[in-house]
Structures are given as structure tokens and as C-alpha cells.
């Protein structure tokens, strides 16, 4: 079965790359493989796969 996409272009996920320290913890907690790590910075690789669970933002809050 392919990866579920709920609706295209409706996800409100935002990424502040200037705050990224490249630890990769948000990639570990994301259940949908939305994020990727390139040259030490996280990028949104598959925005439409995000289910807005908030797990990655919880990690970000604890890492700063």
C-alpha cells in the first residue's frame, strides 16, 4: 500500500531552518517521513504526507 496523502496543499507545517541544529531528532519521531536531513539542516521533503501530529515541534521545543 502506498503512503496516504489526505489532501494536497493544505498542510500548515512550517520549518525554521535558522533554528535547526541538525540533531535529526525530528526525523526519528516523524511517523510519516516528512522530513529529511541535508548538509546538517532539516528540510521538508514530503509536505503532503504530514498529518500534523506535532511530534516534531515537541522535539524542537526541548532541544533549544
Site for ligand SF4 in 31-60 (CB under 6 A): 31-32, 34-35, 50-56
What the block records as the C-alpha cell of 59 is 522535539
> Under the criterion CB under 6 A, does residue 6 sit at the interface with ligand SF4?
no
Q: Whole-number minimum distance, CB 39 to ligand SF4, in Å? A: 19
29 binds ligand SF4 (CB under 6 A): yes
Report how far residue 55's alpha carbon sits from residue 34's, in angstroms, rounded to the nearest whole number.
Answer: 12
Which positions lie near ligand SF4, rule CB under 6 A?
Answer: 13, 29-32, 34-35, 50-56
Amino acid at each position: 500500500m502506498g503512503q496516504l496523502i489526505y489532501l494536497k496543499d493544505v498542510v500548515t507545517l512550517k520549518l525554521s531552518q535558522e533554528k535547526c541544529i541538525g540533531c535529526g531528532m525530528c526525523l526519528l519521531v516523524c511517523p510519516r517521513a516528512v522530513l529529511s536531513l541535508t548538509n546538517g539542516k532539516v528540510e521538508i521533503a514530503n509536505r503532503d504526507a504530514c498529518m500534523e501530529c506535532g511530534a516534531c515541534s515537541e522535539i524542537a521545543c526541548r532541544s533549544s
